[in-house]
Amino acid sequence: MDLGEGLRKAIAKLTGATIIDLKTIREFNKELQKALISADVEIELVFGLTKRIEEAALSSRMPEGVSHKDYITNLVYEELTRLMGQSHEPEIKPKRILLAGIYGSGKTTTAAKLAKFYQDRGLGAGLICCDVSRPAAYEQLETLAKQSNTSFFGIKGEKDVSRIIREGLAAFKNKKVIICDSSGRSAMDGELISELKRINEEFKPDEKLLVINADIGQVAGRQAREFDNAIKLSGVIVTKLDGSGKGGGALSAVAASSTRVMFVGTGEKLNALELYDSKKFVGRLLGIPDIESLITHVNEAIKNAGIKPEDVDINELNFESFYAQMKAMSKMGPMKNVLGMMGLADVPKDVLESGETKLKRYENIINSMTKEERKTDRLLKDPRRIARIAKGSGRTEKDVRDLISDFNKMKKMADMLKGNRDMKKFMSKFSPKGA
């Protein structure tokens, strides 16, 4: 069970509570403590948080018309936001950024993501490869630079980081943002510190960012302190937050170490890097919709997929617009993250299944439909049409029925969201008028 699921289950138990008394709060706090400790949040931080929730719940008066569940959810939201640290808003201006981290942190991929982040905001970015210890680091960063459409500099086989930086800075004299990817180690040691200090002296970075894997949980706090002592960090980037059950532990530990989280990585794709916002992070854990982030992801996905707004009109859902929506959503990163932004964190696993394989299969099937069938889904109640489409697409009749089933689920969800006032802004992005 991940942290969000544990928190939502703990809060759900309050639904039937008739009063909020000491017994109710302490039973709730036990469940909350289990969820937080399972996510590797430090015990001292957990007990401090639940104590503050207990004091706040028993000392304040619950507003009229507010349910017990909503009242406690708000208290948990406020305390978790404080626990997870402050949000970050970077200055969009020319800068030099040094990335540090140990092996397995996702540092090199993050370097390319960060370059793309600034380049997408109008600042030409360049990547310098100063990872002189890991085999294939040069090739990996060069490939990622091409994928992110950013510039790359490295000297293959060179071990002198000072030379690489001098020549890299000369090559990138016209770049607004220059990012240096340094070597990692299996652990913090003297050799790594010495090399980082040489890079720091030669590169003269405006920002020094530590890249940490969310999987390490509360160990992230110790890493942040060690690197901060060595080169005085500007901040931390926490990667692999999408698949880690210990993400809450990593974020809270970094905040407790007095180092701020600046970005979070939420997937493998190069656009899966987000500014850290503790309110949005905690909101997603608790199942609160994050409409602003959702709209941003939708706009980027539609742009990257090359889709015309009229092709994804959610107000007139048919097989053509259904396929266009799937194509756009595949550009938005893991489906779990997307639905989390919608406040639908506990959607069944069968709904979460998508992926490139299913998308390609559905594309073949839809291409085998007549124009009339794509526009009028009720025609596919005819088994003869299903058999013809299956044969024409090289798929089975079951595959065609699976497509129809998923389409109907999407249609029901669209009908449900049309009545949700908070979702109208999001839905307008899928229509010509809102584009």
Q: Which fold does the domain 3-83 belong to in CATH?
A: Four Helix Bundle (Hemerythrin (Met), subunit A) (1.20.120)
Q: With cut-offs at 50, 70 and 90, classify the pLDDT of residue 431.
A: very low
H or E element in which residue 26 lies: helix 22-38
Q: Which span out of 13-17, 167-171, 195-199, 423-427 was modeled with the highest average pLDDT?
A: 167-171
User: What CATH superfamily is the domain 95-285?
Assistant: P-loop containing nucleotide triphosphate hydrolases (3.40.50.300)
Nearest to 263 by CA among 104, 124, 107: 107
Cα pseudo-dihedral 7, 249, 243, 322, rounded to 10 = 50
Helix (H) / strand (E) element for 253: namely helix 247-256
For the segment 215-264, what is each residue's pLDDT rounded down to a tens digit? Answer: 999 999 999 998 998 889 999 999 988 767 788 889 999 988 889 999 99
Q: What are phi and psi of 244, to 5 degrees?
A: -105, 130
Q: Where are the domains of the chain?
A: 3-83, 95-285, 291-434
pLDDT reported for residue 162: 94
- Asked if residue 68 lies in contact with residue 20, where contact means CB atoms within 8 angstroms, the answer is yes
SS3 408: helix
How much is the pLDDT for 419? 58
Dihedral (CA of 98, 185, 110, 7) sign? negative
Nearest to 177 by CA among 100, 130, 116: 116
- The pLDDT tens digits for 266-298 are 888 898 899 998 888 888 787 765 545 555 555
Q: How many residues does the chain have?
A: 435
Query: What is residue 118's predicted lDDT score, i.e. its pLDDT?
Result: 95
Q: How would DSSP label each residue in 337-364?
A: HHHHHTT-TT--HHHH--HHHHHHHHHH
Q: Which homologous superfamily does the CATH classification assign to the domain defined by 291-434?
A: Signal recognition particle, SRP54 subunit, M-domain (1.10.260.30)
What does the pLDDT average to over 415-429? Answer: 54
CB 305 within 8 A of CB 23: no
Measure Cα distances from 162 to 152, 180, 283 in Å. 17, 12, 44
Torsion of CA 310, 316, 317, 320, to 10 degrees: -40
Q: How confident is the model at residue 352 (pLDDT cuts 50, 70, 90)?
A: low
* 38 touches 245 (CB < 8 A): yes
d(CA 190, CA 38): 33
Residue 351, pLDDT above cutoff 90:
no
In eight-state DSSP terms, residue 128 is E
Using the predicted structure, report yes or no on whether residue 83 has a pLDDT greater than 70.
Answer: yes
Give the per-residue pLDDT at 238: 94
Q: Output 59 or 208, whichever has higher pLDDT.
A: 208
How confident is the model over 169-196, as a mean pLDDT? Answer: 88
Averaged pLDDT score across all residues of the chain: 82
Higher pLDDT, 294 or 396: 396
E strands, 87-176, in order? 95-100, 125-130, 151-153
Answer yes or no: is pLDDT of 432 > 60. Answer: no
